Structure 1
Amino acid sequence: MANADRPAEERASPLEHRQRSETQAELLHETLQLASYSAITHVVVVFALAYMFWNDASRLYLQGLCTAVSLIIVATLWTTWHHRNTFRGEVCERAIQRGFRICKALAFALGIAWATMPAVLLPPSSGNFRMVAAAITAGLISDAYVVGPILSVSLLLAAPIVLGAFIGLAGCEAPFGGYVSLLLGVYAVFVFLSVRRMSLLSYQRIWQRIVVQHQGETIGLLLNDFEAGASDWLWETDARGRLCHVPTRMAATLGLSQRVLQDRTLEDLLRDHAAPDGTDAERAALLRAFATRTAFSDLSVRLQTGTGVRWWTLNGKPTLDRHGQFTGYRGVGTDSTDGREAQARIAYLAGHDILTGLPNRAAFQNAVEAACRLRPAGQPQIGLLCLDLDGFKAVNDGHGHGTGDRLLRAVAERLRAVVGDADRVFRLGGDEFAVLQECPRPELAEGLAERIVADVRRPFRVDAAHLEVGVSVGIAYTPGDAQDPASLLSRADLALYSAKAAGKGRWCCFDAGLEDRIVRQRHLDAAMRLALGTEAMQLHYQPLVDLRSERVIGFEALLRWQKPGEGWISPVEMIPIAEASGFVIEIGRWALHRACADALSWPGLQVAVNISSIHVRCPTFYDDVADALARTGIAPERLEIEITESVLLNRETQVLDNLKRLRRRGVRIVLDDFGTGYSSLSYLTDFPFNKVKVDRSFIQDLRDRPEKLAVVEAITTMAHALSMDVTVEGVETRAQSHILGLKNCGTAQGFLYSAARPAAEIDELVRMLNARAEIGRSSRHYGEAAE
């Protein structure tokens, strides 16, 4: 049997193996405990037997039986004592097996000792003595019940006694011996079956107790770990509401000791620590549940404690005894303070800009929607101020994004100070801000915009940098200008664009004309695309004239568009629209191809093409120019690319590389409108231009404004020193031409020579201007000869 059970034991888990060992230890403990109780009985019985049979049986046998039984009983008592000392510590499997072997040996020895009694005393005895011996034998067999928890021990004790009884009865006269032997066999079988069942029940009883004990210990450990390591705790009250189990974490959240909270009612605790601005509804619901003895779940209360404000979330249900009487509450509590604070932080971040702390675009959208809702009669209108910083990109590019972020925080602080209410100032993203202001009178919003412009204009000190930016402001009102959020924001943006177009650093209110201009711009944008696709756009050419010979040396290509029904559309209106939409790049590619193709019929003459700064910054700009040269076959030296100073403002590496590649190829690079933009002399050293063009604003009133002549002379001298040619724009009179010629300006263009003409008229124009130059030169020679 032991070998058959071994695989099952090997397959058992460590926990089951431990439980089996503890069960065997308990069986051994119970068996030895019961055996120690019956030990006195055995001693009394053996000495009583010796006394009764002293004169009728062998005294030597009786002395030997008493001695043997006494020794076995002493060994049993010593084994019980030793077992108790051995098992005080951890249960050892080896000790259990040794205890089982000793118990079996003692039981077998005691059974052998007592088995001699019926075998020796039954046959010679007569009458009453035989009945005494039979009764003692039956009693000894029933002693198997005492050691019944271990079946093998019971059998080793009872089996020898039964065998001895059969031997003794065999020596008795018939029919007494046979009858009693039969009854003894039936009795022995009954005892065996009963002891076997009792042993099985004892094992199951002890096994289940051990399992329950282990489960209880595990649950206790889990609960202890739960209370020690989790933010939740278990709480319990008695029928009067007093706390009878106060977890450490529960007391710690209140900053109190467990002793202070013990026996206090939970209702009083919640009332005493109620925060003034707590959630009264949920606290009332909790107290109402206590009063009505009903279950509750996820009720949160705000408590004022010595460590600050804490939030508790409580779950609980009433407990009843077996008679259905209320015995108190049991439940789970949670310190939900961190969760509440995290939720509040998330809610704050959802509606606020992380960098500046101002309400963000989502909060702005909600505020605008609330402002545009139907307002009661007599309520003041609300003004929306859209703000955009001027010059912020230059700060980011020149000082880095870290400095730019700190500058945005400084701007936000100034806006808070000017507006006076941080909840009315919003950061929409990048360098865009917005302000919502109640305006009983429009002058209030306009005055606020004026103060914002003036305050932001003041220099900022960011780390060691001294930074200056401006701000442009667009204003629209609800319900006066718009009644829905999208329209209000759109019209404030229109006003902002108008402020920027007017020179930046100012404010502008929305008016209907702004919207009309936007509609026209959209209309022109669509019409331009159609015109370019159908070749309705044209290039007209204005001649470039050498001031000394007055002969034509080239032409500047100028974009012209005659829109059906409107006439000629000014490039001043057309180009900004194309730049805003990016369509100017397509126009630039088309102009390069068309100008190079037209110039093929002008042998020896140059052609200059104005290129937008957006197109020059395009990564494909070099390829666009190279493609135009390749397709038309014009010599690169005959093509001039005119750019403005703004292209080089940020000194982008790719822009400079493309321009240098074109110059190495032979294309001439011209700096247009020199003197009217940023006019940094470093541009002329960063990139070696072939030519600079002096803006027409310096040519007007040239004779009456000597300072303008000085500027032109300075530009010419500087350009010649850098090996650059000079072209003067806007020459309209002979006097201007004569003065500029004396200053060695080189070439000129203007209405004195011709306005821009279509390509079909260029040949005739060249012949006419060159002929006029010959006549003029002949006249000068004639005059000199006459002198």
Structure 2
Amino acid sequence: MRIARYSLPWRRMKAPAPVPQRDRAAFSTEERDRFETQAELLNETLQMANYSAVTHLAVVFALAYMFWDSASRLYLVGLMATISLIIAATLGTTWYYRNTFRSEVTETAVQRGSWISKALALALGLTWATMPAILIPPADGGHRMVAVAVTAGLISDAYVVGPFFSVAFLLAAPIVVGGFIGLAGCDAPFGAYVSVLLVIYALFIWFSVRRMSLLSYQRIWQRVVMQHQGETIGLLLNDFEEGASDWLWETDPDGRLRQVPARMAATLSRDPASLQGESLLAILADTGQPDHATALRTAMAMREPFHEQAVRVSGAHGTRWWNLNGKPAFDRYGGFLGYRGVGSDITVSREAQARIAFLAGHDTLTGLPNRDAFQDAIQAVYHGGEHPETPTALLCLDLDGFKAVNDSRGHAAGDLLLARVAGRLVRLTEGRARNFRLGGDEFAILYPGAGPEAAEHLARQVIAEIRRPYQIGVSLLEVGVSIGIAHAPRDAQDPAALLGRADLALYSAKAAGKGCWCSFDVSLEDRGFRQRQLDADMRLALRSGEIALHYQPLVDLRSERVVGLEALLRWNKPGEGWISPTEIITIAESTGFIIEIGRWALRRACLDARSWPGLRVAVNISSIHVRRLDFHDEVAAILAETGLAPEGLEIEITESVLLDRESEVLTNLKRLRALGVRIALDDFGTGYSSLSYLTDFPFDKVKVDRSFVRDLQVRPEKIAVIEAIVTMARALAMDVTVEGVETRQQEAVLRHKQCGTAQGFLYSPARPAAEIRDLVRRLDTRKASVA
């Protein structure tokens, strides 16, 4: 007779052949459950037999080695041989039955296996029983302790074969008897004492193993019963199929459908009768998408269950998606009956998931893959390792002038502009590179197989293409682009480093004037390290007083007297010397530390200016600082704290402050003017130089950059520019200061063109505050001494 295969722990092995009908009725329900329980008990015993056998083999050889010089060698050799034979028989029996049970489990096989297990246990027990009887009486103290310990250990082996109590008893009982015999031959009182302990230990083993055997039987019995009840409940679910949202499907052993619910057939736009008897796998294979059914076919070929398997099918109304759950069904005797499972039409949810997945990996505005998709793509470049198989160029793009367009034309126009930019990138790189939108006006291009020349050629193409005007509504808008390039694996050994180095190259391109590209080299990383180090050091330097303000005099060209001073940042870094103010300001603006520097400079300059009555002090303020809503309040608080009159302070700003025409900037400047603080436009002529700035806000002064003074005598066009600026400023009631005056000839030309004030090395470089009083006195008396 055969037992139902699904109830046994070897149920994942090869399926047995179908069982004849006459055998299926041989068991009642109770007999079937009891028999399957016996089979499970035998299986657990067989599972532990290999470990126990190896242990016995190791013990007998160790024992023979220990007693080789103190006991009969003939007996020891015989003991090793006998134990080895029994162990070999045990291992062979275990191997045979486990292989037998893979094909079928019969009542005869289970009964025979039980009797063989008992016989082997008895043989092993009788053989080991001779050991204490022979070795304990003549042994000395140490060897006697070893023999007693081995005897106790062998008795405890009953726990290993505990699932079958009779097997455990037949193994342990002869060893206990042999122990008593051996102890009886020992000198009093040792033998008597140990015998009493042996009785206690044997009784403990007896009751413990018996209890464990009963618990094992109950555990397996309950598992078998509950499994059969679960199968019965599963069958009852068929009655509820018509009222469920999903459907139940069933195949015969050959995989042909034999239960086709109307809802299942409706998804294929077919009649249920036409699907009856058709192969389920054939239906899936007909879709032209065999890859979607591979896992399902593999599971059914191995007769394994499958769960939540999504497969694509084709119906009269297009492609549909099914979600299938199934498990192989066996009769109670192990015969394969086919598959039973639950199916559902998940087409709507599948399409929704596909849409969600697309949106998760793509930018909704431009349709380009987004930052998450970019991170996956850049990880794939390295294939989880350090050396990409294909060299890849990464181009990081940042639009130039987009914020001004976005703010002046509105976000709707800005969004259209970004979409047009993305379209041009796609057309330009189609078939050779992938484009991504990282956020805002930042884009990236991954260019597989591109060397430096190819990447740089693409960068030039992108710059030229993005620069062309865009027709957005009635407006013609223009933006530029800066590009940083890094190569894998040449420039980086991991994705994070590759992106970081492309960003460094992008920052370098921005610093070089925008609208250009820059490839990464090691010097950029060194520069980045220096910037990080200087950023940390300058914070300490500001607190410790290493950073100071030096002052450069502003001289009235008519009276040749000092009328004011410009505060300039200076840092004499220990061990390195003077750090360029441009480098300091660039780093501080990138980190936001420039605001703290600006507050400190305003307070320091106002304190110093109190020592120079009649002289106005000018302080350069970063555009980042001026844009703060509380900037006016900060200046007013510093003036009140230091006691400097507002008329004694001049704030110098650059054109970039007004580039975005932010209302808070103009509000701050107007409130400062109303307070009495003068406002000067610095570096006029070097930036955008839009005259509309001068009409949006009436500055007190414009400062002409030193680039117009250099070569003044040999470049008449520069004289013309200065003359035009002076004329314009005079018409707008503004003063003019010219920077970078170094020679008397330059001073004479500027005086002739009626410029107001000048500053430069002709008069003095910037000097510490302690030297200013003497410097002003010397400059003011210079004219008198010359006269």
Residues 1:488 and 2:485 are matched in the alignment:
no
Q: Aligned pair in 2 of structure 1 residues 644, 323: CA closer, same or farther (>3 Å)?
A: closer
2:655 to 645, 655, 659: 645
TM-aligned CA distance change 1:520 to 1:253, over 3 Å: same
Structure 1 CA distance for aligned equivalents of residues 459 and 618 of structure 2: 45
Following the alignment from structure 1 to structure 2, what is the Cα–Cα distance between the partners of residues 241 and 729? 92
Give the structure 2 partner of residue 274 of structure 1: 287
Would the aligned equivalents of 1:609 and 1:642 in 2 still touch at CA under 8 Å?
yes
Q: Is the 8 A contact 1:358 1:422 kept in 2?
A: no
Q: Is the 8 A contact 2:257 2:280 kept in 1?
A: no
The alignment partner of 1:366 has SS state of helix
SS of the residue corresponding to residue 629 of structure 2 reads: coil
Q: Distance in 2 between matches of 1:606 and 1:371?
A: 60
Residues 51-76 of structure 1: CA deviation (Å, up to 9, x unaligned): xxxxxxxxxxxxxxxxxxxxxxxxxx
Confirm or deny that 1:249 pairs with 2:263. Answer: yes
Q: How does 1:47-446 map to 2 (within 5 A)?
A: 226=244, 230=245, 232-235=246-249, 246-258=260-272, 260-261=274-275, 263-267=276-280, 270=283, 273-285=286-298, 288=301, 298-315=308-325, 332-373=342-383, 379-421=389-431, 424-439=434-449, 441-446=451-456
Alpha-carbon deviations, 1:224-280, whole Å to 9, x = none? 554xxx3x234567999886765443333112345655x553548626743334423
Q: 1:377 to 1:660 in 2, by over 3 A?
A: closer
Kindly indicate whether residue 532 of structure 2 is the aligned counterpart of residue 519 of structure 1. Answer: no
Contact 1:439 1:445 in 2 (8 A): no
Q: Please, which runs of 5 or more residues in structure 1 have no aligned partner?
A: 1-218, 780-787
Residues 305 and 610 from structure 1, CA distance in 2 versus in 1: closer, same or farther, beyond 3 angstroms?
A: same
Task: After TM superposition, list the pairs within 5 Å mapping 1:498-509 onto structure 2.
Answer: 498-509=508-519
More displaced stretch, 749-758 vs 335-344: 335-344
Distance 1:320 1:720, change over 3 A: closer
Q: 2 CA distance for matches of 1:326 and 1:706?
A: 103
Q: Distance in 2 between matches of 1:326 and 1:751?
A: 101
CA distance 1:570–1:256, change in 2 (3 Å): same
Contact 1:301 1:312 in 2 (8 A): yes
Q: 1 CA distance for matches of 2:272 and 2:694? A: 83
TM norm structure 1: 0.64
Deviations 1:450-495 (A, max 9, x none): 2222222222233443222222111222222221222221111111
Q: Which has the higher contact order (CA 8 A, sep 6+)?
A: 2
In the TM superposition, residue 419 of structure 1 has moved relative to its aligned partner by 2.1
Structure 1 residues 306 and 775: alpha-carbon distance in aligned structure 2, compared to 1, 3 A threshold: same
CA apart distance, 1:713: 1.7
The answer as to whether partners of 1:610 and 1:642 remain within 8 angstroms in 2 is yes
Looking at structure 1, the residues matched to 772 and 386 of structure 2 have their Cα atoms a distance apart, in angstroms, of: 69
- Partner secondary structure for residue 487 of structure 2: strand
Cα distance in 1 for partners of 2:414, 2:602 equals 39
Q: For 1:238 and 1:763, locate their aligned partners in 2 and report how far apart those are by CA, in whole Å.
A: 107
Tell me the SS of whatever aligns to 1:493: helix
User: SS state of the match for residue 434, structure 1?
Assistant: strand
How has the CA–CA distance of structure 1 residues 385 and 638 changed in structure 2, closer, same or farther, with 3 Å as cutoff?
Answer: same
| 3-state SS in 1 of match to 2:614 | coil
Give deviations 1:592-644, integer Å, cap 9, x for gaps: 11111111121111111111111111223112211221122111111111111
User: Is 2:530 the partner of 1:530?
Assistant: no
- Number of aligned positions between the proteins: 552
Distance 1:233 1:322 in 2: 25
SS at match of 1:689: coil
Q: Which residue of 2 aligns with 1:737?
A: 747
Counterpart of 1:618 in structure 2: which amino acid? R
The answer as to whether partners of 1:474 and 1:492 remain within 8 angstroms in 2 is yes
**Would you say 1:665 and 2:667 are equivalent positions?**
no
Query: Matched residues in 2 for 1:268 and 1:771: separation?
Result: 106
Taking only aligned residues, the RMSD between alpha carbons, in angstroms, comes to 3.3
- Report if the CA contact (8 A) 1:278-1:303 is conserved: no
1:352 and 1:360 in contact (8 A); partners too: yes
The answer to whether the 8 Å contact 1:312/1:337 transfers is yes
- Partners of 1:637 and 1:616 in 2: CA distance: 19
Give the conservation status (yes or no) of the 8 Å contact 2:388–2:488.
no
Amino acid of the structure 2 residue aligned with 1:696: R
Which amino acid counterpart does residue 278 of structure 2 have in structure 1?
Answer: T
Matched, 1:574 2:584: yes
- Is the CA contact 2:387–2:489 (under 8 Å) kept in the aligned structure 1? no
The normalised TM-score by structure 2 is 0.64
Query: Which segments of 5 or more consecutive residues in structure 2 lack a partner in the other structure?
Result: 1-236
1:704-749 per-residue CA deviation (whole Å, 9 max, x = no partner) reads: 3222222212211221222211212222222322232232222111
Which sits farther off after the overlay, 490-499 or 338-347? 338-347
Q: Is the 8 A contact 1:275 1:302 kept in 2?
A: no
Question: Is the 1:359–1:427 Cα contact (8 Å) retained in structure 2?
Answer: yes
Supply the distance in 1 between the matched residues of 2:780 and 2:251 (Cα, whole angstroms).
114
Q: 1:747 aligned to 2:761?
A: no
CA distance in 2, matches of 1:540, 1:548: 25
Percent identical: 63
Question: Could you say what secondary structure the match of 2:680 adopts?
Answer: strand
The alpha carbon displacement at 1:769 in A equals 1.4
Paired position in structure 1 for 2:735: 725
Deviating more after overlay: 314-323 vs 695-704: 314-323
Instruction: Please say if residues 467 and 478 of structure 2, whose CA atoms lie closer than 8 Å, have aligned partners that are also in contact.
Output: yes
Amino acid at match of 2:265: A
